[in-house]
């Protein structure tokens, strides 16, 4: 009788050990949190509409720099950016905002998006932004003093397209079955529109469409599955 009890106990221990090992060998999954950064220095273009197109020139200098974070499929980008062009005509906002002045904007905004498509080499992220914008104008001459507006609320919406280059992981840091983790460099084609960009405070009807190309790096680790306790 004692012998049967001992054999039964040993069998149960082996079974529990096997179950625990099977669970621990499950592949880890991408973590929930990710972070990164991107920069696009004057690497975009913009097109103006309405009254804004009558007063300002569309241009080839749209820039942004951002700190990226994500939670599951939600994407956040804390951006500083803006545009630069010349004035086609005088602006009534202030007497010294004259034709041929250098004109620009500065944006501080939060981009919030969703990973509609998230593949190994490609992302599609629809987004909206909310933030604040200031405009400035100055004569195109050396040492000339310009003028700037205060910060005013602004918003935009658009789609980001990411072309990803996955980075290999050192052997000592690899998980079983994984040569890569969610760590990559990417080129981001950022497309969007500010429908009422110039209405406050310049009182110009019309908005701005923009395209920007930036370079970034992103990291999201893998999380292990905990071994079940039996």
Domains in the chain, CATH or no CATH each:
33-222 (2.40.160.20)
pLDDT at 67 exceeding the cut of 90: yes
Considering only residues 181 and 119, tell me which one the structure prediction assigns the higher pLDDT: 119
Query: Which two three-digit tokens encode residue 92?
Result: 């009534």
Considering only residues 229 and 147, tell me which one the structure prediction assigns the higher pLDDT: 147
**What does DSSP say about strands 122-138 and 222-223: parallel, antiparallel, or unpaired?**
unpaired
- Which pLDDT does position 3 carry in this prediction? 54
- Which pLDDT does position 105 carry in this prediction? 95
Considering only residues 224 and 13, tell me which one the structure prediction assigns the higher pLDDT: 224
Residues 91-120 have a mean pLDDT of 92
Beta bridge partners of 171: none
pLDDT at 12 exceeding the cut of 60: no
pLDDT at 26 exceeding the cut of 70: no
Max Cα separation, the chain?
105
- Residue 108's pLDDT band, with cuts at 50, 70 and 90, is very high
pLDDT at 169 exceeding the cut of 70: no
Express each pLDDT in 177-228 by its tens digit. 555 567 889 999 999 999 999 998 999 998 999 999 999 999 887 665 554 5
- Which pLDDT does position 24 carry in this prediction? 45
Point out the least confidently predicted range of 35-39, 152-156, 157-161, 180-184: 180-184
């Amino acid at each position: 009788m004692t012998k049967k009890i001992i054999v039964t106990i040993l069998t149960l221990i082996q079974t529990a050990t096997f179950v625990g090992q099977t669970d621990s060998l499950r592949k880890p999954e991408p973590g929930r949190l990710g972070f990164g950064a991107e920069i696009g220095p004057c690497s975009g273009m913009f097109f103006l509409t309405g009254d804004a197109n009558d007063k300002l020139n569309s241009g080839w200098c749209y820039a942004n720099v951002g700190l990226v974070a994500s939670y599951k499929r939600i994407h956040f980008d804390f951006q500083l950016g803006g545009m630069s062009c010349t004035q086609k005509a005088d602006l009534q906002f202030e007497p010294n905002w004259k034709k041929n002045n250098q004109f620009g904007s500065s944006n501080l905004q939060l981009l919030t998006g969703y990973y509609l498509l998230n593949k190994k080499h490609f992302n599609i992220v629809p987004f909206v932004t909310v933030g604040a914008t200031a405009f400035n104008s100055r004569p195109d001459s050396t040492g000339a003093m310009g003028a700037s507006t205060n910060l005013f609320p602004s918003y935009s919406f658009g789609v980001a397209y990411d072309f990803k280059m996955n980075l290999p992981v050192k052997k000592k840091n690899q998980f079983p079955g994984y040569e890569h983790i969610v760590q990559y460099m990417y080129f981001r084609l950022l497309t969007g529109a500010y429908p009422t960009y110039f209405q406050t405070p310049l009182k110009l009807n019309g908005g701005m469409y923009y395209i920007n190309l930036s370079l970034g790096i992103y990291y999201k680790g893998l999380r292990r599955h905990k071994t079940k306790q039996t």
